[in-house]
Amino acid sequence: MKNNNHLRAAFRAAFPHTIPIMAGFLFLGIAYGIFMNSLGFSAIFPILMSMLIFAGSMEFVAANLLLLAFNPVQALLLTLMVNARHLFYGISMLDKFKGTGKKKNYLIFGMCDESFAINSSVKVPEGIDKGWFMFFVTLLNHSYWVTGSAIGGLFGSMITFSTEGLEFVMTALFVVIFTEQWMSQKRHLSALTGIGISAACLILFGGERFIIPAMLGILGVLTLMRKPLEKGEVSTA
Amino acid sequence: MMTTEQQVITIGMIILGTVLTRFIPFWLFPADKPTPAYIQYLGKVLPAAVIGLLVIYCFKDVSLTAGNRGIPELLCAGITMLLHFWKRSMLLSIAAGTISYMVMVQMVFQ
């Protein structure tokens, strides 16, 4: 029973952090299901894709890919490019995922933008198992997304929307996490580097192709600043 | 139009690509071996920078020269941020930012 209790405690600690994502993912998931439905795919496509890909923006891209000529190599390369930011998530979580046992594979598999943002920034409360906390954050987010896609795919044609603008909930979530990190850190060089270089690359290269140059730029600047940053304290935890 | 079989292969490639980008760092730097100092350093400084990248990523479809010129997006991101500096309540900041945005795009900027 002791085992059950610490699972329940971790779930209870994790759930509140996922509430904004529930709103965002149900909405975006439904929108995705409806979109797939409108392209003529049966509901099983959005449901399985949400379960197995679990990378929102890539799933919208995938929907369009499925309508083009068959080109599996291009599909793979495009996915690697769109999702390249996950490489940074992994490097950031190497330490945090240590010692989480078998759950680790699922934590990595389910590391979408939102789960990464929460798991990398939330200080897990004292006495709560860190691994199970992150597991439930990931699992809840995953289930919101699949549920949304299923609703959209199954009932898409019946839903009429008056919720224009609700998708901003994701932007607001990232802005809040950014602000929260800013308030908890003394030095802001890394945060400023991330936002400055990404903004510059977005303006220079446009929305379709700014991510790779932004990642390279961030990597370059952080590498150049390693000495000064390591001399000061680099408390980003 | 692809056959169902080709669609399944395409989806498989997308799953493979996504899984690769998520797992590669953990394969390259396994937990039972010491992680190089440079990678440890990146692991410490990258999260703050990557969250910055994610914020900008949300603006990738916003045009500064067309439509609403990004005004509602920037305004509401500003509201969210200021409210968070002031009250520091995650749900309040997110709810207020999102509702302001919905009101703006549905009623003010049409």
- Every domain of chain A and the residues it spans: 2-167, 185-237
B3 secondary structure, DSSP code: -
Query: What does the pLDDT read at residue B18?
Result: 96
List of residues 6+ apart from B2 with CB closer than 8 A: A66, A69, A70, B10
Quick one: pLDDT at residue A184? 84
In this predicted structure, what is the pLDDT of residue A159?
64
Partners of A54 on chain B (C-beta within 8 Å) are 18
User: The tokens of A226 are what?
Assistant: 């390693």
Instruction: Divide the 237 residues of chain A into consecutive groups of 10 and give the mean pLDDT of each group.
Output: 82 94 87 82 94 87 85 88 88 93 96 93 92 97 96 80 72 88 88 95 90 91 88 52
Q: Does B48 contact A54 at a Cβ distance shorter than 8 Å?
A: no
The SS3 assignment for A81 reads helix
Q: B110: nearest CA in chain A?
A: A164
Residue B13: its pLDDT value, please? 96
Q: Taking chain B (110 residues) in consecutive chunks of 10 residues, what is each chunk's mean pLDDT?
A: 90 96 95 89 87 89 84 95 92 89 87
> What ipTM does the predicted assembly reach?
0.86
pLDDT attached to residue A49: 95
Distance from CA of B82 to the nearest CA of A (A): 9
pLDDT at residue number A236: 45
**Among B39, B60, B76, beta carbon nearest to A91:** B39
Using the beta-carbon criterion (under 8 Å), do A78 and B17 form an inter-chain contact?
Answer: yes
Q: What is the pLDDT of residue A124?
A: 92
Nearest CA in chain A to B55: A174
CB-based contact, A187 to chain B, within 8 Å: no
Tell me if A105 sits within 8 A of A135, measured CB to CB: no
Of B17, B46, B84, the CB nearest to A92: B46
B98 at interface of A, judged by CB pairs closer than 8 A: yes
Q: Is A223 helix (H, G, I), strand (E, B) or coil?
A: helix
What pLDDT score does A162 carry?
A: 54
Give the whole-number percent of chain B exceeding pLDDT 70.
99
CA angle A137, A123, A170 (to 5 degrees): 50
- Per-position DSSP letters for B46-93, written without gaps between them: HHHHHHHHHHHHTTTT--SSSTTTTHHHHHHHHHHHHHHHHH--HHHH
